[in-house]
Structure 1
């Protein structure tokens, strides 16, 4: 179905090829998973299948890519639309209509399908992806995860023979991710659809793959073969390597069947109760100024983030009371049109604490973060950040206390190159020149100074946005899905940086569906459902008792409270 013949792709002004010498064949009816560190060319390879590379992205493609017998060099994306369905990393770039139902029907209208066929397929897709309740909703009002499901659904309705998916579960909660992957598996097994899928959260998808392609060396093999040598692998594989299991397990079920000996070795040792750094710490008497929040909308119109970032600091803000919580939320309610996004939410976060907000898509996590930086005014209740009321505080004052990395990192970036972006962040924060650039290199090494932020991979762009905010070392750091597009190595670097900030007295609140990140990093987990807090407690207590939010190690070693491979390794060493 798909054939790569000695394919290389080089972008203009790039130091070298993004892809080089790729030779592979993907037969019909297989699910092939692309793995590898951020920036190794996974998105480029997927784009070469859909024809977006080089017809849309530019650059030079050498060699030959054929899909269903059609040469992508001579067939533009529109001439492949009936054959190849594509969902990129950014759902918003995918949409052309305003409502969910219209978006699901648009692709079929473009192909000239009969109205009766369109109606039936829309209903089937609404049910498959759990979107029936959202059918009339404006897409702009949906959460990031809901938008991602709509983007996937708009491709499924056209019944393509080849599906190309870039990070399809990155913004989905665990249950929604399982539903989407079950749909993909059904398409592969029952209809013979060929699926190419790039995903960093391998713990979700590796067990569904027929074969795995490891980049940048373009090594193709079975999941077991590739996971045995891959530098990026899910926690269950890392646990198998630590325990010396051969062959390595790919699923929690496989690992549980072989874990009796490991459980015996861990019996009597101190339980893994999370990675908490104990105690609350007083804030410095004079907090560092915060990196503003930025971004620029298409057409040159500055976004709220951009205007905040470019604003100069206001008069000095009085330091908060060291004995008070850094963040205090009381009975917060937020209504957006007909939707009651938050109801009676209460939350306290002390200096030095790390807290994860978890819950299904649309539960209200991003709305809560927006309220904490004054972007979403409360309908009732109160919010105080370091003694300030966010929605009534001058943004120039507020940004000295709290920094937010939004779900869409491009909203935070406005310069023409990585170097200019970092220089602006250093100047805004009053940091030493090179501080932001060092953070970028720490999180994702190898990003060139002259690269435009739009030309970065999703993970690299996220790392740049994180560096912009972390350069100023704000007392309160807010992160919305901070691991989208990050591989396991980059995620480990992020965890180390956030742990260091917490140890110095900064508070970190992150909204995430990444259960492995929560297990590695946070002291507390707050679960939100239907706009209400339904659980709030130590990480181990909350996630071990939840089938949806438990990390892989906890599932393998349950009921023992171990959460991460790192904890198990430390216990065995002790």
Structure 2
């Protein structure tokens, strides 16, 4: 169905190719998972399938890419619209209408699908993705996860033979991600759709993959069955890393497979107490009382009370649309707040100037690049120093401490997701706020990048700051957070130490906790340390 024949691609002015001599054959009805480090070229590989690379990105492509026998060299991308459906990393950037129902119908209108067929497909897609209640909602009022499901639905209504998805579950809560993946798997099994997925959260997709394609940093590509490819992959989910630690052969790809083999490991850990951790008892840096946020008649946050303490890393979790982002913006002072108070050092950020509010509470939004508007990294850093009355070089120094090696001459939009996140975080930290709010910061980050980012977050907390991370990434929470707050329908329904909250939750428990339940282990590193201590004691 999809063939890459010795494809090499180089972006204009790039010193080396992004893809190098790629040869692939993907069959009909196959679910192919594309993996690789952040910035390795996964999105470029996906863009080449329907000709967006190089026709819209520029650059030079050598070799041949064909889909169902048709070459991307011979036909423009619009000619592939009925054959290849594409959902990018940023759903909002691809929307062309105002409401959910209109967006689902738009692609079919362009393909001249009959109105009665259009109506039927819209209804089927609304049910398939569980978004029927959103049909008349304005797209701009949806949460990031809801927008992502609509973007996938808008492609599914055209019934493409090939579906290309770039991080389709990155903005979805665990339950919504399972629903979307179940719908995709039905397309593969029942309709023979070929699905190509690039996803950093391998723990969600790996068990369903028929084939795994690994994009290496040098642009070369390898492929094979998932179990074989995972044996030596440096990018691997917790279930695979736990299997390596325990010496299981073949490596498990799902929690179910791992649990069947985990009895000896659970027995070896039976007399060891997992580190449960404690929430901070220090004085509150921020106190919010009775915070309520509304959008018209919709109540997004309902009379919430919360205290944030120095030295804490708090994970804010909950299903899509539960009010997490609205709470963060209301607390920071930039977002709407119908009622309630926020106290940071005796003042309310909402009552202060924007500059003073940033000095009290820093906020990195879901799309970090929204805060970047200049032409170079150096200009962004210099402007941040000026706006915060900081000494020249302050922002650059902070950026180097977070992620060294980013060239001042690079355009911010050309950075990888991890680099953009580091730059925006440095820009916010120049104002020296004691409270840092991060909204979905791990989107677009591979496991290694997330590990480095967890270290950055830990350093911020160790420096006496309070850090809040709104996220659906349960594995990052298990690694980085010492306290978890869960929201539902605008209210806080759980608040406590990480192990206490997430282990008891089928939706928010990390893979290691599910495999070793009822023991409250959260990460592979915890298990490895416990086993090593047992060996030393023995």
* CA positional deviation for 1:368: 0.3
1:253 is the counterpart of 2:230: no
- Given candidates 472, 490, 505, the residue that maps to 2:449 is 490
Tell me the residue number matched to 1:271: 274
1:433 is the counterpart of 2:393: yes
Structure 2 counterparts to residues 3-14 of structure 1, below 5 A: 3-14=3-14
Tell me the residue number matched to 1:207: 207
1:567 is the counterpart of 2:526: yes
2:372 and 2:412 in contact (8 A); partners too: yes
Tell me the residue number matched to 2:340: 381
- Given candidates 416, 422, 425, the residue that maps to 1:466 is 425
- Given candidates 524, 547, 551, the residue that maps to 2:506 is 547
Structure 2 counterparts to residues 183-198 of structure 1, below 5 A: 183-198=183-198
1:121 is the counterpart of 2:124: no
1:442–1:548: structure 2 CA closer, same or farther, 3 Å change rule?
same
* CA positional deviation for 1:451: 2.8
SS in 1 for 2:359: coil
* CA positional deviation for 1:470: 4.0
* CA positional deviation for 1:482: 0.6
SS in 1 for 2:33: strand
Q: For residues 441 and 82 of structure 1, what CA distance do their matches in structure 2 show? A: 47
* CA positional deviation for 1:424: 3.5
SS in 1 for 2:330: helix
Tell me the residue number matched to 1:139: 139
Q: TM-score, normalised by structure 2?
A: 0.95
1:2–1:564: structure 2 CA closer, same or farther, 3 Å change rule?
same
Tell me the residue number matched to 2:247: 244
1:8 and 1:22 in contact (8 A); partners too: yes
1:449–1:6: structure 2 CA closer, same or farther, 3 Å change rule?
farther
* CA positional deviation for 1:459: 4.0
Tell me the residue number matched to 1:405: 364
* CA positional deviation for 1:218: 0.6
Number of residue equivalences: 529
1:553 and 1:564 in contact (8 A); partners too: yes
Tell me the residue number matched to 1:44: 44
CA deviation map 1:294-353 (0-9, x unaligned): xxxxxxxxxxxxxxxxxxxxxxxxxxxxx4x11111111111012110112111111111
Structure 2 counterparts to residues 347-362 of structure 1, below 5 A: 347-362=306-321
Tell me the residue number matched to 2:474: 515
2:145 and 2:172 in contact (8 A); partners too: yes
* CA positional deviation for 1:242: 1.3
* CA positional deviation for 1:377: 2.9
CA deviation map 1:122-158 (0-9, x unaligned): 0011111111111100000000110011101000000
1:251–1:11: structure 2 CA closer, same or farther, 3 Å change rule?
same
* CA positional deviation for 1:412: 1.1
Tell me the residue number matched to 1:312: none
Unaligned stretches of 5+ in structure 1?
282-322
* CA positional deviation for 1:432: 6.6
Q: For residues 276 and 344 of structure 2, what CA distance do their matches in structure 1 show? A: 28
Structure 2 counterparts to residues 521-540 of structure 1, below 5 A: 521-540=480-499
2:402 and 2:456 in contact (8 A); partners too: no
Unaligned stretches of 5+ in structure 2?
534-538
How large is the RMSD of aligned CA atoms in angstroms? 1.8
Q: For residues 440 and 73 of structure 1, what CA distance do their matches in structure 2 show? A: 42
SS in 1 for 2:258: helix
Tell me the residue number matched to 2:305: 346
Structure 2 counterparts to residues 208-227 of structure 1, below 5 A: 208-216=208-216, 217-227=220-230
- Given candidates 451, 454, 462, the residue that maps to 1:503 is 462
Q: For residues 244 and 9 of structure 2, what CA distance do their matches in structure 1 show? A: 35
Q: TM-score, normalised by structure 1?
A: 0.89
Tell me the residue number matched to 2:231: 228
SS in 1 for 2:89: coil
Q: For residues 57 and 434 of structure 1, what CA distance do their matches in structure 2 show? A: 34
- Given candidates 416, 432, 445, the residue that maps to 2:375 is 416
SS in 2 for 1:528: strand
2:382 and 2:392 in contact (8 A); partners too: no
1:63–1:441: structure 2 CA closer, same or farther, 3 Å change rule?
farther
* CA positional deviation for 1:209: 0.5
Report which stretch shifted further, 234-243 or 424-433: 424-433
1:439 and 1:471 in contact (8 A); partners too: no
* CA positional deviation for 1:471: 5.1
1:43 and 1:166 in contact (8 A); partners too: yes
SS in 1 for 2:521: coil
* CA positional deviation for 1:565: 0.9
* CA positional deviation for 1:441: 8.1
Tell me the residue number matched to 1:293: none
Tell me the residue number matched to 2:31: 31
